[in-house]
Amino acid sequence: MDRRIGIFGLCVVLIQFANAAMLPLVGQVLSQGNDHSAPLYMSACIITAQLVMMPVAAWAGRACTVHGRKWVLMIGFSVLPIRGVLYTLTGDPIALIAIEILDGVGAGIFGVAAVLVVADLTGGTGRFNLTNGAIGTAISLGASLSHVVSGLIVHHLGYDAAFLALSAVASIALGCLWIAMPETSDTRRHGEGRSRAGHR
């Protein structure tokens, strides 16, 4: 009955809808006219994102403790619409691979902060695994819809339109997180409460 779980679930569906199809679409763009090099470029995209994701995840764990979950998640959400728009500005393989740095940033933050948010929302209830599984289902739902819808957009309107549409959905996800999702960290909330009390 906790409405925060529903809000967070909606944000997760939207952000995964925006994210899941981006890398496969980049792979398709890279394969155009580069049939022999496409697997190498795709591997480079994945490796670049993974190398960035590891240090970002380590930073995100510390940042979530100091600054709260919401603001760290907002950083992760905000890189996705930027990433989608950048894909429309170039077809150069090196530039497209470099843009995958943002994928690593977003994935590193989301992988850590999302689990912490679920832990905050279910603390003391014994329902962490149930809620985490439900969020995982939401991730899968968003990802599945992403591939279907983006494929249709590419077929009818082209790759740039698909990237821009996914960026628009990512912007909506960021707006929902910013406007509707409260901070879930008790330490952060209490710290803000003491700060407001001190000002009064």
* Domains (range + CATH), the chain: 3-199 (1.20.1250.20)
pLDDT score recorded for residue 186: 72
Give one DSSP letter per residue of 48-89, joined into a string: HHHHHHHHHHHHHHHHHHHH-HHHHHHHHHHHHHHHHHHHTT
d(CA 42, CA 56): 21
d(CA 158, CA 66): 43
Does 193 score more than 60 pLDDT? no
Does 88 score more than 90 pLDDT? yes
The confidence band for 115, taking pLDDT boundaries of 50, 70 and 90, is very high
10 Å Cβ neighbour count for 164? 17
- Percentage of residues in the chain with pLDDT exceeding 70? 92
The confidence band for 10, taking pLDDT boundaries of 50, 70 and 90, is very high
Looking at residue 150, the DSSP 8-state letter turns out to be H
If we measure between CA atoms, which residue out of 144, 167, 140, 125 comes closest to residue 5? 125
- The answer to whether the beta carbons of residues 183 and 189 sit under 8 Å apart is yes
Region 45-61 average pLDDT: 94
Q: How large is the greatest C-alpha to C-alpha distance in the chain, in angstroms?
A: 67
- The answer to whether the beta carbons of residues 185 and 121 sit under 8 Å apart is no
The confidence band for 176, taking pLDDT boundaries of 50, 70 and 90, is very high
pLDDT score recorded for residue 35: 65
Region 48-53 average pLDDT: 95
What is the model's pTM? 0.86
